[in-house]
Amino acid sequence: MPGGPLDGVRVVDLTRAMAGPYATLMLADAGAEVTKVERPGSGDDTRGWGPPFLEPEGDGERQAGYFLSVNRNKRSVTLDLKDADDIAWLHRLVDAADVIVENFRPGVMERLGLDEESLATRNPRLVGLSITGFGEGGPHGHRSGFDQILQGEGGLMSLTGPVGGTPTKVGVPIADILAGMFGAYGVTAALVERERSGRGQWVRTSLLGGMVAIHTFQGTRWLLAGEVPQPGGNRHPSIQPYGAFDCADGQVNIAVGSEGLWKRFAPLVGLEPDDPRFATNGDRVERIEELEAAMGPALASDTVKRWVARLEEAGVPAGKVAGLDEVYASAQVAHLGLIDEVAHPTLGDLQLPGAPVHWSRTPRGAPAPPPLLGEHNEGSDG
């Protein structure tokens, strides 16, 4: 896929599942040439994660939607990393690369002759990225890191779920995805620094690190105020009214993020802006149950569509709580090019979630479909 600000950057991707592939997906979307190294016969674990599975037209392997979701714009080669000839082939790939990405267990890279010291000798300009569950070293560095485990141990589940209810995971593998995003950010920063120093370096991130990094104000509630946040449902702990509210035919998100917005919003639901119960944001946060009860009848009397129109006309931020069928049918999603259309070699034309970043001067080229297992074995050593 020519084009993009990373056009010409070669990436060797030794990762599987979600965190590492998401990092290399971001690099590929920016134009890097990503070669995904997979196990012969089975490939990335996610090739078997379904349903849904898509059946090929004619002969060929069925494809898992999970794998298809994060592996566009990549090449696939199969190498047996217990075979000396295949390891030599891998070494040739790495010697010609700008970036290597791995999420192996500790000790595997050393066994492959691809530890940091060896790589610095054989390819001094190489940028390496290592993604682990709990980080390298320390009392938990040896532990396996799967998304749900880190959503729990990283505190995110403790913040998520109905008010007073059970901690709940986010509906996508957000710990994996964030580790991948932070990893891709680290790689691009290291590539920029390489232009000054002429030398590569190793980038390390973890699922745990990503979880802690996104705590933001919830983290400071504990670190600065000694409060342990609990699941808050769709309520905001510091701003009100700010959340999802029931209408006649669904839910609307409303964000009254300032006193000026409150003065516009209150009359729409039959409240006086200066009502002493709700006059300040602090009052509204303290009396959220009473506020929701006061707002409820007005909101429930009309449809989501009418409420969104009414709130937007008043300058109050609002939006529908939409299903994915509605999201992918959205004219705004189409306008932003957030759906990639690719021609898969065995599945035909596919639509996939697209890249959210666009570059004005170095736009990416047409997206390529996720590869078949070993599709690019011929000539893969550059």
Span between the terminal Cα atoms of the chain, in Å: 16
β-strand pairing of 63-64 with 127-132: unpaired
Can you point out the beta strands (E) in 55-193?
63-64, 74-78, 99-102, 127-132
Q: Which of 45, 176, 302, 325 is catalytic?
A: 176
CA distance 203 to 101: 9
Helix axes 174-197, 19-29, angle to 10 degrees: 50
Q: Do residues 252 and 299 make contact, with C-beta atoms less than 8 angstroms apart? A: yes
Strand partners, 33: 10
Phi-psi region of 59 (alpha: psi -120 to 50; beta: other; left: phi over 0): beta
Rg of the chain over Cα atoms, rounded to whole angstroms, equals 25
DSSP labels, 6-34: TTT-EEEE---TTHHHHHHHHHHHTT-EE
Hey, CA dihedral for 182, 188, 194, 195, is it positive or negative? negative
Residue 176 appears among annotated catalytic residues? yes
Q: CA-CA distance, 9 to 29, in Å (whole number)? A: 12
- Residues labelled as active-site residues: 176
